[in-house]
Amino acid sequence: MIIFPAIDLKGGEVVRLAEGDMNRATVYGDNPAEQAMIFAEAGAQHLHVVDLDGSFAGEGRNVEAVKAIVETYSGYVQLGGGIRDAKAVENWFNLGVARVVMGSAALKDPEFVKAMAKEWEGGIVVAVDARDGMVATEGWAEVSDVSVVDLARRFEDAGVASLLFTDIGRDGLLKGVNIDATVELAQRVDIPVIASGGVKGLDDIHVLSLHAHEGIEGVITGRALYEGKLDLATAIAMGARA
């Protein structure tokens, strides 16, 4: 099971939001590339990077910060945030990211996302962000009338690499991952699932690792790392045993 340390970018700084609220941002640093190297030194081979400004703007806003991360970090960079057209997808891949995460586009234009998954084999991740079981979009500012499972099933056999499932109500709050909802999604679709939202410590990593054989590919963690509640090297070792 892959452990993805998170680097969320707002105005070029490393931040974490509470429940996806841009007005509830905690700044953890002003050098994203340096933060990537700290994670690399702990053994991280994958990063999850989010252009938060891009999520709301619908276009890349932290390009230089992402470029610095990609040029410095030797592992795989998974990137999300406002990626809603073919040119944006191409630009990020050309910059060197390994996988692109698409959320709002997956709900509003699923055929486009499927086309991207076909063109960029193994490179497209569909973000399934949920509030009370319903899909949220536009940087989590809007909640749709589509259920998480219904959206996920639209992409079965489409060639997407993974589903990234986030419980918004827990994200950035250290409440613990919504294990039940994450595992249920993994059991109900044939696409690997990445857990996100609320990781508070090794207990979350341990429990998720027990379900790795049911389709849990990995878990994203941010605030727990930045606030010293989770040791990254230990988490990576635990995930490797799953």
Active site residues: 8, 129
Backbone angles phi, psi at 144, to 5 degrees: -90, -175
Cβ atoms of 117 and 159 within 8 Å: the answer is: yes
Say how far apart CA 45 and CA 163 lie, in whole Å: 19
**DSSP assignment of 147-169:** EHHHHHHTTTTTT-SEEEEEETT
Going by DSSP bridges, is the β-strand pair 2-10/13-18 parallel, antiparallel, or unpaired? antiparallel
Buried b (16+ CB within 10 A) or exposed e, 11-35: eebbbbbebbeeeebeebeeebbeb
* Residue appearing with tokens 């996302």: 113
- For residue 225, the SS3 value is helix
Going by DSSP bridges, is the β-strand pair 99-102/76-80 parallel, antiparallel, or unpaired? parallel
Amino acid present at 189: V
Say how far apart CA 101 and CA 29 lie, in whole Å: 23
What tokens were used for 218?
A: 């990995």
